Amino acid sequence: MTGLSTRFPRFHGFSMIEVLVGLVLTCIGVLGMVALQARSIHYTQSAVNHNQAILLADNLLEMMRSNPSGALTDDLFTTSSTYYKAPGSAFASTSTSLDECLSRDRSNGGSTVATADLDCWRQEVQSLLPVTDDALEASFAICPSASPDSCSASGSSVVMIQIAWTDNSGECDDNLCIYRLRSEL
C-alpha cells in the first residue's frame, strides 16, 4: 500500500485555474460596483438640479408676491408685467452686479425693483443650474397661465414659471429637463 500512495500523491489547496476564475469573478464584481457608483453620481446630480429648479421658481414667485405693484395690473398678471418673459424671448439685459443683487433695497417696489429682481434671478439661475443662453431664451417662461403647461395672452391671477436645464443623463427629452410651477399671485 505504501507504494501506491507515493505514485499518486494527493493534491491539497487550490489549483491555478481556480485562483484565476476567482480573480476574474472578483474583478467583474468590482467593475459592477464602479458602474453603479457612476450611475448614482449622475442620478444625484440630476436630483440636485431638479431641487435647485424648484427652489429658484419658488424664490421668483415670492419676489413677485412681495412686489405686487411690479407684478400685477388690476390684480392680474399680464403680458405687460415687468416680470413677464415669453418663451423664445430673451431676458431684458441689465447690468445689475452680483454685489448689487445681494445688497439692494426692495422696499419701494414697482417696475424698477421687478427689473432688478428678474436680472438677479437670471444670474442666480445661471450660477446654480447647467443652463445655456439658448435654453434661457427658448425654454424659460414667466407668463400668465389659464391652463396647465401653457401661457395665455390674456391676464390671469395664475402665473406659470418654467425653468429648463441641460441634463446628459438621458432622463429628459432632448437632454433638456423642464420644471413648471403654476401658482396664484
8 is a domain residue: no
Q: For residue 1, tell me if it sits in a domain.
A: no
Q: Is residue 15 situated within a structural domain?
A: no
Q: For cell 424698477, name the residue.
A: 112
Domain count, the chain: 1
Element (H, E) at 164: strand 158-166
Task: Answer yes or no: pTM beyond 0.85.
Answer: no
Is residue 128 in some structural domain?
yes
Domain that holds residue 69: 21-184
pLDDT tens per residue across span 151-183:
998 999 999 999 999 988 778 888 899 999 999
DSSP class per residue in 55-74:
HHHHHHHHHHHT-HHHH-BT
Q: What tens digit of pLDDT does each residue of 29-49 get?
A: 999 999 999 989 988 999 999
CB atoms within 10 A of CB 114: 21
176 within domain boundaries: yes
